Amino acid sequence: MPDIFTKEKRSEIMSKIRSKNTEVERVVFSFLRKEKIYFQRHYDRVVGCPDVAIPSRKVAIFLDGDFWHGRNAATRLPKLNDWWRAKIERNMKRDKASRAALRKAGWSVLKVWEGELMRKRTREKWLEKIRAHLSSGTSRPWFVYLLRCVDGTLYAGITTDLDRRVAAHNGGRGAKYTRGRGPVEIVWSKKTVDGTSARKLEASLKKLSKEAKEDLINRAC
């Protein structure tokens, strides 16, 4: 079936469709922030660039637009002209390959259709699926730590690898505060269950006076 628009008009229409900051992304991102779930948007450090990811748990979510990613392809594709049909088929093939690669690398992948999330009667169900998916996976422990700098000051931070993070601080690749204050050493640390808990504890540590931090260190000895 031929397109009802000219090639130029169709190109103009499709160019106005956003690939980022879409309405469905705003719905999901707002929900996750409200639930205080830490996540990364458009995580481009792995194949496929998941729309939502928690790298420490190796979980990824793709928020797929119905048209662009070929929902109900069997009935929709025959209605498109050759150019658009080929484009959508390429997108579907790319999606399948990238998500297979992620799963092979140990990631847990969830695909959510835009139409399901934007439909009011199914939105809550899919938001709950997203929440459950982000709670799954293998979680690396997070550590909150206090460093003592060479000038005697204390610095609070978080990491999933204490040795690597201390090496980064001493190599000038850590926080801006510790640059020029090395060598540093860890004088206190605590393991937490996830990044969200670690960030909350880090924030509370940063509010403490130096005397309170020293007391915390002494009590741990």
List, in order of start, the domains of the chain with CATH numbers. 7-134 (3.40.960.10), 142-220 (3.40.1440.10)
**pLDDT for the residue numbered 20:** 63
| DSSP string over 127-173 | HHHHHHHHT-SPPPPEEEEEEE-TTS-EEEEEES-HHHHHHHHHTT-
Q: Tens of pLDDT along 21-65?
A: 789 999 999 999 998 888 999 999 999 999 999 998 899 999 999
C-alpha to C-alpha distance for 213 and 25, rounded to whole angstroms: 40
Mean pLDDT, the chain, whole residue set: 87
Q: Tens of pLDDT along 55-101?
A: 988 999 999 999 999 999 889 899 988 999 999 999 999 999 999 99
Helix (H) or strand (E) holding 54: strand 52-54
Burial class (CB within 10 angstroms; exposed 0-12, middle 13-18, buried 19+) of 37: middle
Q: Which residue has the tokens 């990044």?
A: 195
pLDDT interval class at 16 (50, 70, 90) = very low
Q: Global pTM? A: 0.57
DSSP state of 191: E
